Structure formats: C-alpha cells, structure tokens
C-alpha cells in the first residue's frame, strides 16, 4: 500500500469513528442511561474539551516522537475508548462514558495533528493541495453520513451499536497506519528545551510569521461567527423562518453538501487560481451567506437558509484546504506539530465564546441582532485576509527549510 493511500484510508476510518462517537454519545446517554440535559451537557463538554486541552501538548509530542508510532497510539486510544463506551452503556456507568468520550476525542486530536504534520513528507510539495483535498473529502463524506447511520442503528438495534461501528472504523484505520513505513523520530536540537518552552516556541513562530498570523486571525474570527450561527440556527429556523424540524434539518444538510463539493473543486481551483483568490473567497462568501439568512422571508425562508448553509460549507472548505497547504509549506518540519497545534487551539478556544456571545445577543437583542453579529464577524475574517500578505499571495510559497 502506498504511504498516502494508507494515510487516506486511516483518515477515513478515524473520522468515521470520531463522527459516529459524536453522534452516538447523546443517543446512548439519553436512551440507554436516561441522562437529563444537565448530564448530557457535561458529557458533550468532555468530548469537546479534548480539542482545547490536548492540542498543545500533542503538538509537542508530534515534534518529538516518531510520527508513525504516535498515530498508532492515537488510533489505539480511539479503539479502546469505543470499547469502554460500550461497557459504560452496558453497566450504566455514566462517568465511564464521559471518560471514554474524552479519551476518544483525545485520540482524534493527536491523530489529526500528526497526520497533517506527516503529510508533507509523504507527497511532493506540488501535490499537497490535491492530497489535502482528498483527506478533507473523506472527512466531509463521513461527517455527513455518520449522524444518519447512528440514528438508524439506534432505532433498529441499539444506540451502542454506533460505538461498535466506531470501533471497527478505528481498527481499520489502525490497520492502514501499520502499513506505513517506519521512520525515525524528528531530529532533536542540541540541548532539547523543556516541554513548556517547546510549546511556546511553536506559538511564537505562528505569532511572528505574517502568513500564519493572518491565517490564525482569520480562522479565529470565522469560527467565532460560525458557532454563533450554530447557536441561533434552531430558534431562527423554527421561529421567524417558519420551518418544521424536517425542513430545518434538510436546510442544514446543505452545509455538508457544500463541504463535499468544496473538497472536490479544491484540486482544480488550486491549479487554476492563485492562492489569494481562494483565501479571500472563503471568508467573503460567508458574509454573503449571512446576508442570505438576514434576507430570508418570514415563513418561507427554506431556500435562503439552504443556500446560506451551502455557501458556509463550500467557500470555507476551499479556504481550509488552501491555508492548510500554505501552513505545511511555510512551517519547518521540526516545528510542524507545534505550529498546527497552536492554530488548532486558537480555533477551538474561540468556538465556545462564539456560541455564548451569539446566544446572549439573541436573548437580549433578538435574532436579527445576532445575525448581524455573525455577519460582522465573517466580514472581520475577510478583512483580516485583505490586510495581510495573504491577499498578495500569487503562488504557493516555497517549502521551508528545516
């Protein structure tokens, strides 16, 4: 098996396991354990907390340990977490289910950071856009399918079958990673710094690099807006837009369709368009999407809402693939894990803030005010790109030296 093919198969299996676990957790907690909203909130928080807590130390591990070995550890942790979740459901151990949720998500965090950092060593620099697009396409497809599969399994068999299928996905991913060639650990500098100093070095590199700084600030503003939008979507759809739950879900599923089409288009756009076009288009089209939500007519806004969700998936997916490639090219290999971890931590750190602020504004000033906040944050993410050197990037940068 070719190294990239192995990584692609492992990514599909890993994200399938992660998304199935994400969709199965509330079903298991509610239908099997009888958990109320308060307990369910704690369980979901435990799952999402891993992205914030584990990312920075995981980035340092990526730059210190053999990356193939780290991938194996991450996938084994995900497999064990799925088994533990089934045991928690069988024994009624809610606390164990929370531990399993955190452990499984932690394995995904380590896997994602390691695979993104490993990819530049598996494919030529010129093939990175296409390779990143294929990896993101696999993630988008399983993200769209997992909630449906988890729901069907819960209805026809039992919610815990979702965890069994997640374990199968993790096992298949592990088999793919075992096909990767062995590689030594990243070369350590003389007098290796402490763990904390190592993490700080990655953060400082992002802060001082003008391209990475622009990417990070844009991602922070965009994710703030996106999670504010997610928070107000249900009351907006079921209230002013007059949608029933079925049409609400159908409109939101257009987001997944946008992700998939964006991943399919990205290899073509990367060959025919300069990076600056894609880097501006992604956040800019999100502003248009917010405008569609604002312009949606009362009691008949399905088409506007579906188009808005589609654009929020399509443009930002193109942007994600493009900026990931830029990030891989400008980051020296010994810093790759810590740089990716710094960007990831900033993104996941701002997401709860976006949700809290979006909900608070909607409660105090109304849904229209909250949508204006979303539009303003999307516009700010676009402005960040326009004011940074990313808006002048006519071609992909040359790979950084170690």
Q: What is the mean pLDDT of the chain?
A: 87
Q: How many CB atoms lie within 10 A of CB 14?
A: 29
**Cα dihedral 318/320/325/330 (nearest 10):** 130
119-157 b/e (C-beta count within 10 Å ≥ 16 → b):
bbebbeeeebbbbbbbbbbbbbbbbbebbebbeebbeee
- Residue 189 reports pLDDT greater than 80: no
**Where does the pLDDT of residue 389 fall: very low under 50, low under 70, confident under 90, or very high at 90 and above?**
very high
pLDDT > 90 in the chain, percent: 38
User: How confident is the model at residue 186, as a pLDDT?
Assistant: 64
Range with the poorest average pLDDT among 25-39, 79-93, 381-395: 25-39
**Where does the pLDDT of residue 401 fall: very low under 50, low under 70, confident under 90, or very high at 90 and above?**
low
User: How confident is the model at residue 290, as a pLDDT?
Assistant: 94
At residue 161's C-alpha, the angle toward residues 155 and 165, to 5°, is: 125
- Residue 326 reports pLDDT greater than 80: yes
Quote the DSSP letter at residue 31.
I
Q: Tell me, letter by letter, the H, E, C secondary structure of 211-264.
A: HHHHHHHHHHHHHHHHHHHHHHHHHHHHCCCCCCHHHHHHHHHHHHHHHHHHHH
The distance of Cα 39 from the centroid of its chain, to the nearest Å, equals: 25
Q: What are the pLDDT digits (tens) for 201-229?
A: 888 999 999 999 999 999 999 999 998 88
- Residue 143 reports pLDDT greater than 80: no
- Asked whether 59 and 342 are in contact (CB, 8 A), the reply is yes
Q: Rounded to an integer, what distance in angstroms lies between the CA atom of residue 223 and that of residue 218?
A: 9
Element (H, E) at 365: helix 336-365
User: How confident is the model at residue 41, as a pLDDT?
Assistant: 67
Phi, psi (degrees; rounded to nearest 5) at 216: -65, -45
Copy the structure tokens of residue 91: 């024994």
User: How confident is the model at residue 50, as a pLDDT?
Assistant: 83
Q: Rounded to an integer, what distance in angstroms lies between the CA atom of residue 59 and that of residue 209?
A: 18
Q: Rounded to an integer, what distance in angstroms lies between the CA atom of residue 310 and that of residue 304?
A: 10
Specify the domain boundaries for CATH 1.20.1250.20 within the chain: 3-183, 197-392
Q: Mean pLDDT, to the nearest integer, of 10-17?
A: 90
- Asked whether 52 and 345 are in contact (CB, 8 A), the reply is yes
- Residue 176 reports pLDDT greater than 60: yes
Q: In 119-241, where does DSSP find H-type helix? A: 128-156, 161-178, 195-208, 210-238
**Where does the pLDDT of residue 287 fall: very low under 50, low under 70, confident under 90, or very high at 90 and above?**
very high
- Asked whether 212 and 327 are in contact (CB, 8 A), the reply is yes
Copy the structure tokens of residue 329: 């090219």
- Asked whether 321 and 273 are in contact (CB, 8 A), the reply is no
The position carrying tokens 């690099």 is 209
**Where does the pLDDT of residue 402 fall: very low under 50, low under 70, confident under 90, or very high at 90 and above?**
very low
- Residue 39 reports pLDDT greater than 90: no
Q: Mean pLDDT, to the nearest integer, of 131-148?
A: 85
Structural class in CATH, domain 197-392: mainly alpha
Q: Rounded to an integer, what distance in angstroms lies between the CA atom of residue 6 and that of residue 14?
A: 12
User: How confident is the model at residue 1, as a pLDDT?
Assistant: 66
Ramachandran class of 209: left when φ > 0, alpha when ψ lies in -120 to 50, beta otherwise: beta
End-to-end CA distance of the chain: 28
- Asked whether 19 and 146 are in contact (CB, 8 A), the reply is yes
The verdict on domain 3-183 having CATH code 1.20.1250.20 is yes
- Residue 156 reports pLDDT greater than 90: no
Q: Tell me, letter by letter, the H, E, C secondary structure of 273-302.
A: CCHHHHHHHHHHHHHHHHHHHHHCCCCCCH
- Asked whether 349 and 224 are in contact (CB, 8 A), the reply is no
């Amino acid at each position: 098996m070719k190294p990239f093919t192995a990584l692609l198969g492992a990514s599909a299996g890993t994200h399938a396991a992660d998304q199935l676990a994400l969709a199965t957790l509330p079903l298991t907690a509610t239908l099997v354990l009888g958990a109320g909203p308060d307990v369910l909130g704690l369980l979901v928080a435990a799952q999402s907390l891993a992205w914030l807590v584990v990312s920075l130390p995981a980035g340092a591990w990526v730059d210190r340990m053999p990356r193939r070995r780290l991938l194996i550890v991450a996938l084994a942790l995900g497999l064990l977490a799925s088994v533990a979740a089934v045991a928690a459901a069988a024994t009624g151990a809610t606390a164990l289910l929370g531990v399993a949720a955190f452990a499984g998500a932690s394995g995904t965090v380590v896997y994602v950071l390691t695979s993104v950092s490993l990819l530049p060593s598996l494919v030529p620099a010129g093939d990175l856009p296409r390779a990143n697009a294929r990896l993101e396409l696999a993630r988008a497809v399983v993200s769209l399918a997992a909630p449906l599969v988890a729901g069907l399994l819960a209805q026809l068999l039992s919610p815990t079958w979702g965890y069994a299928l997640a374990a199968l996905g993790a096992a298949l991913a592990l088999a793919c990673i075992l096909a990767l060639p062995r590689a030594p650990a990243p070369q350590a500098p003389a007098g290796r710094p402490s763990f904390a100093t190592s993490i700080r070095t990655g953060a400082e590199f992002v802060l001082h690099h003008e391209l990475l700084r622009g990417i990070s600030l844009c991602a922070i503003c965009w994710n703030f807006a996106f999670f504010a939008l997610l928070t107000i979507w249900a009351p907006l759809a079921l209230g002013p837009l007059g949608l029933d739950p079925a049409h609400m879900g159908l409109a939101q599923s257009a987001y997944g369709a946008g992700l998939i089409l964006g991943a399919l288009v990205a290899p073509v756009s990367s060959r025919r368009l300069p990076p600056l076009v894609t880097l501006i288009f992604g956040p800019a089209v999100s502003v248009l999407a917010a405008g569609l939500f604002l312009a949606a007519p009362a009691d008949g806004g399905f088409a506007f809402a579906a188009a808005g969700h589609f654009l929020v998936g399509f443009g930002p997916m193109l942007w994600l693939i493009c900026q990931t490639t830029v990030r891989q090219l400008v980051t020296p290999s010994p810093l790759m894990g810590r740089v990716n971890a710094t960007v990831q931590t900033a993104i996941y750190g701002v997401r709860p803030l976006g949700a809290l602020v979006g909900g608070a504004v909607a409660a105090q000033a109304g849904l229209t005010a909250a949508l204006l906040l979303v539009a303003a944050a999307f516009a700010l993410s676009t402005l960040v790109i326009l004011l940074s050197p990313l808006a002048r990037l006519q071609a992909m940068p040359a790979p950084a030296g170690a």
